[in-house]
Amino acid sequence: MSHSAQHHTINYIEFTATDVARARQFYTTVFGWTFEDYGPEYTSFHATKAGVDGGFRLGKPGEARGEGAPLVVLYSSDLKAAEAAVVAAGGSIVVPTFEFPGGRRFHFADGAGNVLAVWTE
């Protein structure tokens, strides 16, 4: 995609993580994302597996989650398997699966200071 085709689109998502290595391992294990490390305080993930480019930067505890922070929502064709993978990789479910118009989703903590959601139809 050319840069002009990316005009006004989400190009990159950056998270704060209290443990960058743990974040990398968690998202590799659960979702199969691939990473490129830029030292011990930063790792980036690639759109080919994650859907959008982004990264995790080292931050202080409490800095990772802020009131009013955006919620990143991932898609899964198998919500139960995604939930099991989150728990097996050391994450925790912070909002159990619920229904909404158009689908179902749950929210999880990744153990590195971030809360995301996974949804399906």
Residue 5 in any domain: the answer is no
Question: pLDDT for 23-77, tens place per residue?
Answer: 999 999 999 999 999 999 999 999 999 999 999 989 875 555 555 677 899 999 9
Q: What are 85-104's pLDDT values in tens digits?
A: 999 999 999 999 999 988 99
Instruction: Look at residue 3 and tell me if it is in a domain.
Output: no
Its domain, for residue 88, covers 11-64+71-120
- How many domains, in total, are found in the chain? 1
Q: What is the CATH number of the domain that holds 39?
A: 3.10.180.10
Does the pLDDT value for residue 84 go beyond 60? yes
Residue 6 lies in a domain: no
Q: What is the pTM of this model?
A: 0.80
pLDDT of 68 reads: 60
Show Cβ contacts of residue 64 under 8 Å, excluding neighbours closer than 6 positions.
15, 16, 17, 18, 112, 113, 114
Q: Cα separation of 60 and 57, whole Å?
A: 10
